[in-house]
Structure 1
């Protein structure tokens, strides 16, 4: 999704255009041309959203605004327009319209969301009341900064890339694996002794295998990401991702709240304050293996056992103790803000005496540490700070 900082980075390149964005001084008067532009960007062969930015001159990149544009459209206008067309397959390009105020002007950004379900093309001719018609059956696709001519289909070479994208033949085996995990109902469960496996129904060479973690005995039995659970003890498994009998990668998982929920082990986020003191917390980032495993195993609970009541409560508690980022850029931005503002907000992360006593008691009850000299107090202080950092980011910075 477009935000102001991303828009400013794109505008720094104006008037240069490419296969990801285009500048328009005004909204289209000709609906056929609007439809053609959307189709060209919908059928791009990269894996990113595309943008048409209105209110910016494509001659010199100057912001001129669209506040007085009679042809201006909003999100609903565009979606209703696309929904009313006869496309060759079920569905239509998904879009959004966002307005930004820049240099005392309003700029509209039409986002065309990336999808692998291409190509989109018209099944029959589109004949607008005003403007030129578009012929059905033609496949448009943006190449560099050029659209396909309105009376032609895209090149054979581009068409080959489009079909490779549709069937995920243009991405790595790791990316294909992660994509398939978005469909947990398309995997079959196989249980063998201590091993639970999931096999991809459309290609049995893809296997997710969950096995006991061989190093579990040496691992901690509590982390801050189980702070809000009723049963704070955590356990460990290993999940292997296998293609054609070869393990392409693996991840650790944690079972929480008495094994009511299993999640991909979160990543540890860190940042330094102005005094170079390091602070940490736990997070998941969408699209990564541990995030995808978390989503997959949670959905499989509903498929495999039918009841989600206990798992839902455990998942709600888990989300209180971690941050879920949509991208690497978002994580870096938030950590930078936390570091730069820490001096002003740090008092809010100091545990109260009651919190510290309760946490120390909880940690001792987990009792994986039997050493008499183990510093329970320091560990409790760290766990409380990690929990409070995640809570603060969610409530104050990400507004979750």
Structure 2
């Protein structure tokens, strides 16, 4: 999550002066593993259906005390992930978490983000009692959640209403048709096979009322096309339907004169950084559609399997992280431009573009953006 966005969220929660169903203030850490685990399970099973936050370094009233002087081991994303993966979660469903450190009022706060998913309810299939204290023990099969600012008692389980809500989320019974269609796209293997050239129709094998339909294609033009062997491309309206109702509309691009298919990516112009790039956010509609046309991959390749300059991001926050990194590394621009311009393959790409007249934002800007992106991915590893 973007740090500035997270800081704003946490500041708003601190300003409430109290704890709630999806946020909890912790003045300090504890060595009790059962306490740590139940806090995370309750947050992962929150009945608001949203991201949840454990805020270390603030008292119960939301007053910032800071966590920088704690004598306990502080969470990191790695240590928390390892802690959770070693626990007996039923079905192997483990809460998705991240740890970030932010600064407020001159103090550090450790923020444990428990991401909202549809894998609820999270519960254990074995008893857990690391300290062997019967009062701390977590019981197999018990579904723990949180009502207002109170966790479910350890010897109990969530009430019927909340338990039903959590299971309905798991099976998508609380979803609108639009929401369910997006969820169905998460599993490529559950859609009927098609070639997308003659037979331009696919349906979900288990819910055939959900369908994907591609209409007739027409000639198209995009700077991206020059990076393929044949710069000619076609584009066709793509509709996602529930019965006879169209829920979503986008385009399918037939790149390399139809040899490579991609759902329409977004474009971003950053004139101040001389950047122009195509991108797909994995949590967007195009991101969910991409594996259907790219043989299960989250990557756009040419016919030889080489990656094309369509930048892939987890989400919008992830893309903004990339843009911030580019802004801080402008010193690399001249080096990249020189390397790109001297590359024989790029010279061939550039010559194809020049035949049609070089646009204001063209292949050099796309190639430069892609060079920055590959370096950013390398640095993040």
Q: Same fold (TM over 0.5)?
A: yes
CA distance in 2, matches of 1:337, 1:92: 31
Gaps of 5+ in 1: 303-307, 366-375
Map Cα deviations across residues 108-149 of structure 1 (whole Å, 9 max, x no partner).
333334331221223343323265222333211234544223
Task: Answer yes or no: is the 8 Å Cα contact 2:46–2:146 preserved in 1.
Answer: yes
CA distance in 2, matches of 1:145, 1:261: 52
Which residue pairs with 1:327 in the alignment? 315
Which residue pairs with 1:138 in the alignment? 142
Which residue pairs with 1:371 in the alignment? none
Report the TM-score, using the length of structure 2 for normalisation: 0.78
Deviation at 1:178, TM superposition (A): 1.8
Map Cα deviations across residues 249-275 of structure 1 (whole Å, 9 max, x no partner).
22211122343320011122245659x
CA distance in 2, matches of 1:255, 1:239: 12
Alignment of 1:131-280 (within 5 A): 131=133, 132-190=136-194, 194-213=198-217, 216-217=218-219, 219-220=220-221, 223-271=222-270, 273=272, 280=276
Map Cα deviations across residues 177-204 of structure 1 (whole Å, 9 max, x no partner).
1221121111122569833322211111
Of 344, 362, 371, 2:352 maps to 362
Task: Answer yes or no: is the 8 Å Cα contact 1:224–1:282 preserved in 2.
Answer: no
Q: What is the number of equivalent residue pairs in this alignment?
A: 371
Deviation at 1:80, TM superposition (A): 4.4
1:103/1:166 CA distance change after superposition, 3 Å: same
Map Cα deviations across residues 144-175 of structure 1 (whole Å, 9 max, x no partner).
54422333322333223212211122333222
Map Cα deviations across residues 65-121 of structure 1 (whole Å, 9 max, x no partner).
245323545455544443444334334334344455777765433333433122122
Alignment of 1:285-364 (within 5 A): 285-299=281-295, 311=303, 313-314=305-306, 316=307, 318=308, 321-331=309-319, 361-363=351-353
Task: Answer yes or no: is the 8 Å Cα contact 1:14–1:61 preserved in 2.
Answer: no
1:47/1:393 CA distance change after superposition, 3 Å: farther
Which residue pairs with 2:279 in the alignment? 283
Map Cα deviations across residues 317-347 of structure 1 (whole Å, 9 max, x no partner).
x2xx3333333345567668879999x9799
Task: Answer yes or no: is the 8 Å Cα contact 2:34–2:138 preserved in 1.
Answer: yes
RMSD between aligned residues = 4.0
Which residue pairs with 2:370 in the alignment? 391
Q: Tell whether 2:70 aligns with 1:68.
A: yes
CA distance in 2, matches of 1:60, 1:192: 55
Gaps of 5+ in 2: none
Alignment of 1:116-135 (within 5 A): 116-129=118-131, 131=133, 132-135=136-139
Which residue pairs with 2:39 in the alignment? 37
1:267/1:63 CA distance change after superposition, 3 Å: same
1:385/1:21 CA distance change after superposition, 3 Å: farther
Deviation at 1:294, TM superposition (A): 1.8
Alignment of 1:33-112 (within 5 A): 33-46=35-48, 48-75=50-77, 77-99=79-101, 107-112=109-114
Q: Tell whether 2:9 aligns with 1:10.
A: yes
Which residue pairs with 1:370 in the alignment? none
